[in-house]
Structure 1
Amino acid sequence: MKEVLFFDGAFVLPQEAKVAVTDIGLIRGYAIFDFLRVQNHVPLFVEDYIARFMRSAELMRLPLAYSAEDLKGLIVELVARNGYSFAGIRLVLSGGISPDNFSVKSGGSLAIIEKVYSPVASEVYQMGAQIISRDYVRSFPEIKTTHYAFAINVLQGLANPAIEELLYTHEGFITECSRSNIFLIKNGVLITPHASILWGVTRKYTLKVAQNILPVEERPVRYAELLQADEVFITSTTKKLLPVVKVDEHSIGNGRPGPLSQQIMAAFDQEERRYTEAFMPNSLSE
């Protein structure tokens, strides 16, 4: 069976999907995307990802000719056609062909792509990850645009391949990482930034399960406070909950993944299992 994707109204082979070179998504980077995981043939938390994708399209003023029900149906069909038990699904909406290479006049191309990917190695979860910081404010942080030039440029230039993520800071405060949200634990309290961030789906469910384990605070977080944390972890679709043991040149806590982080990770895994067991392909939850 050959891998297929959905592109502009049809399921096609990858080589059959073509975007115009005059698409404003290519020329100006005016496009959005979202990404979710498939586990045991189930697109995890698909309703949340669709809602965020549609919200990104609205905020970017990109026409989207599909309803939430349409998108879920297409994703479910794509999973069935490709038959992957474990994979990632990427939704991409471009700005379309622009008459002046700057304005958005018509709907662009919608692609839904499923690919098998390599998860973070298990030893990184066991030993903890390293991240580095840079002063940067992302444009439209609440929108999942395709513009990642700054992060890619910085990470490509690093000599240390062990660096997992780039942390954004500004005026002494942290916001998020290039592809993940960030949490810290101090004195038994879970703390995470609440402004100028992408509202991560994994972040949402982390907060849901964590409130049954320890107090939670969503508020401004200073970089100096992060360095004094007992535990730190990042969350994303592909990383789930990944412990962080080093930020720049500073070790976090005792330099190993902490017990509360691991407890929250276990609770998140249980939340995933509950969703998988209750998944209904033909309905959308509120």
Structure 2
Amino acid sequence: MTELSHGAAWMGGRIIPISEASIGVTDWGLTHSDITYDVVPVWGGAFFRLPDYLDRFFASVAAVRMNILMDRQEVHAALEEMVAASGLQAAYVAMVAARGPNTVPGSRDPRDCSNHFYAWCVPYVHIVKPEQAEKGTSVWIAKSVRRIPKDSVDPRAKNYHWGDFTSGLFEAKQEGFETTALLDHQGNVTEGPGFNIFALFGDRLVTADQGVLQGITRKTVIEIARSKGLTVEERPLPFDEFLQADEVFLSSSGGGVIPVVRVDAHSFSNGAPGPVARSLRSTYFEWLEEPRFRSPIQYG
């Protein structure tokens, strides 16, 4: 096992062990959490839906008014070079645009910052351990915090603003739950740290359309669900309605479809993963292997 197989980074055109990767202490990416990023999975030696992830990444970069001085072909090449050097056949791959340090001493003008791109990869990350996902996970609805409003921080531009999620995670862990999900200020279910949420009512699948990241795994699940004859509704999902669902599951690039068996004190599917969630989870991993979605990596 090489040093890079534990994780690699691409910074300034160089590939280095992830343990050596860093950004400066005055970088606004650090001091102001002024970063946008995306994460694409590698499975079986190929990127999954890389064009979709690149589309979203560059849309996010434009939304936060950054210029990383690289086009999508150059970013693709950097990601492939990095993963190939690591030798990882299954990986969690992040592409990041940071505001950078302000080049004018004392300036608070973000236009004076030197924006930059970097990337890193580690062995594939499951946001819920696979053995737990197979049994169904538990979700705590945060009580002390609500999701940051979309007109304060746009969730469609993937970002590092995790203050609300972190507060919810502390609550969840203290209550003995695996993870957390947040409501918005109108009492609708939004999302959790690193995942979107789906609720099944008969043959109708409902997922939030506001206050959430438009996840690529979310998109994949919607396509799979429709291919199986389910109706998908993207709309506000009030918490009271959510609790009446037949099944609940999460979607994430870190693990695909993850069944939920408990939300707060409420159990779903008699405390076991429901048949629809299990079917969608199985099909998701089948789609990871489909050539139409794969961008193979040329390993040395």
Taking structure 2 as the reference length, the TM-score comes to 0.86
Q: Which runs of 4+ in 1 moved over 6 A?
A: none
Residues 40 and 85 in structure 1, CA contact (< 8 A), matched pair in contact too: yes
Structure 2 counterpart of 1:206: 221
Structure 2 counterpart of 1:61: 65
The one of 37, 46, 50 equivalent to 1:46 is: 50
Cα distance in 2 for partners of 1:239, 1:140 equals 24
Residues 89 and 112 in structure 1, CA contact (< 8 A), matched pair in contact too: yes
Cα distance in 2 for partners of 1:16, 1:121 equals 27
Q: Pick which of 129-138 and 60-69 moved more.
A: 129-138
The answer as to 2:108 corresponding to 1:93 is no
The one of 110, 116, 121 equivalent to 2:117 is: 110
Deviation at 1:92, TM superposition (A): 1.7
Q: 1:268 to 1:18 in 2, by over 3 A?
A: closer
Task: Flag structure 1 segments of 5+ consecutive residues without an equivalent.
Answer: none
Cα distance in 1 for partners of 2:19, 2:255 equals 29
Residues 41 and 79 in structure 1, CA contact (< 8 A), matched pair in contact too: no
Q: How many residues align?
A: 282
Residues 169 and 223 in structure 1, CA contact (< 8 A), matched pair in contact too: no
Structure 1 counterpart of 2:12: 8
Q: Pick which of 8-17 and 217-226 moved more.
A: 8-17
The one of 130, 137, 158 equivalent to 2:147 is: 137
For residue 36 of structure 2, give the secondary structure of its aligned residue in structure 1. strand
For residue 114 of structure 1, give the secondary structure of its aligned residue in structure 2. strand
Deviation at 1:189, TM superposition (A): 1.1
Task: Flag structure 2 segments of 5+ consecutive residues without an equivalent.
Answer: none
Residues 96 and 106 in structure 1, CA contact (< 8 A), matched pair in contact too: yes
The one of 163, 175, 188 equivalent to 1:149 is: 163
Q: 1:122 to 1:26 in 2, by over 3 A?
A: closer
Residues 92 and 122 in structure 2, CA contact (< 8 A), matched pair in contact too: yes
User: Per-residue displacement from partner, 1:183-203 (whole Å, max 9, x unpaired)?
Assistant: 011122111111221010000
Deviation at 1:160, TM superposition (A): 4.1
Structure 1 counterpart of 2:178: 163
Q: Pick which of 122-131 and 190-199 moved more.
A: 122-131
Deviation at 1:88, TM superposition (A): 0.9
Cα distance in 2 for partners of 1:277, 1:60 equals 28
Cα distance in 2 for partners of 1:16, 1:178 equals 26
Amino acid in structure 2 at the alignment position of 1:2: E
Deviation at 1:6, TM superposition (A): 0.6
Q: Pick which of 216-225 and 102-111 moved more.
A: 102-111
Structure 2 counterpart of 1:191: 206
Taking structure 1 as the reference length, the TM-score comes to 0.90
Residues 204 and 232 in structure 2, CA contact (< 8 A), matched pair in contact too: yes
Amino acid in structure 2 at the alignment position of 1:136: R
For residue 170 of structure 1, give the secondary structure of its aligned residue in structure 2. coil
Q: Pick which of 5-14 and 204-213 moved more.
A: 5-14
Q: Pick which of 112-121 and 76-85 moved more.
A: 112-121
Amino acid in structure 2 at the alignment position of 1:130: S
Amino acid in structure 2 at the alignment position of 1:159: Q
Deviation at 1:168, TM superposition (A): 3.1
Cα distance in 1 for partners of 2:45, 2:252 equals 20
For residue 268 of structure 1, give the secondary structure of its aligned residue in structure 2. helix
Residues 147 and 164 in structure 2, CA contact (< 8 A), matched pair in contact too: no
Q: 1:277 to 1:65 in 2, by over 3 A?
A: closer
